[in-house]
Amino acid sequence: MIIHIVRHAEAIERSPLIPEEHRFLTRRGRRRFRQAAKSLDTLGIQPDIILTSPLVRSVQTADILAEKLRYKRELAVSGTLAPGFRPEALEDLLKTNPQAREIVLVGHEPDFGLLVQTLLGEQEPCALPKGGAISFKRGFDGGEATFLQMVTGSGKIITSRSKALDRLQNDGR
């Protein structure tokens, strides 16, 4: 199974006037994520399912990705991917989609940073950049995940695990 973990793109700043779940992508966030999604398309990803957090900024990010990949199915919204997602929940989430050979998860920090840290088997904290994606391959029965590649929020493809770790462990930059 291939798992692509995508952090939502840049969203508007927090404000007491807009509820957290309604924060949406900025124009810059949409533009930059289109570049990242184009890189993911270049890599040839073909997800069987795109699962997204129900928060607006994640759904918008997933929608841009689906458009760039020419994904023909509906997006699947999962409350499990809302803020508060923990690495332990990954197995149950994957079990609800047993037919999927390639899956995209769209969600939030710091949750996805913790998930990436766990999948990489790292002690140091990781942070996925806004609009960034990281891909892993692992057996259908679980087990150790193998790093495949990372795409930065601006669309740069990184295939070196050590270079990706450097980015992930330096505040996601």
Q: What's the average model confidence in pLDDT over 14-20?
A: 91
Q: How would you classify residue 28: left for phi > 0, otherwise alpha for psi between -120 and 50, otherwise beta? A: alpha
pTM: 0.95
Confidence of residue 161 (pLDDT cuts 50, 70, 90): very high
State residue 170's pLDDT score.
84
| Whether 132 contacts 153, CB under 8 Å | yes
CB atoms near residue 116 (< 10 Å): 28
Confidence of residue 171 (pLDDT cuts 50, 70, 90): low
74 or 140: whose pLDDT is higher?
A: 74
Average per-residue pLDDT for the chain:
94
State residue 54's pLDDT score.
98
Q: The sheet that has 142-151: what strands, in order across it?
A: 76-77, 49-52, 102-107, 2-7, 133-139, 142-151, 157-158
- Above 50 in pLDDT, residue 173? no
Write the pLDDT tens digit of every residue in 46-82: 999 999 999 999 999 999 999 999 999 999 999 999 9
Write the pLDDT tens digit of every residue in 87-102: 999 999 999 988 899 9
State residue 104's pLDDT score.
98
- Above 50 in pLDDT, residue 172? no
As its CATH architecture, domain 2-168 has 3-Layer(aba) Sandwich (3.40)
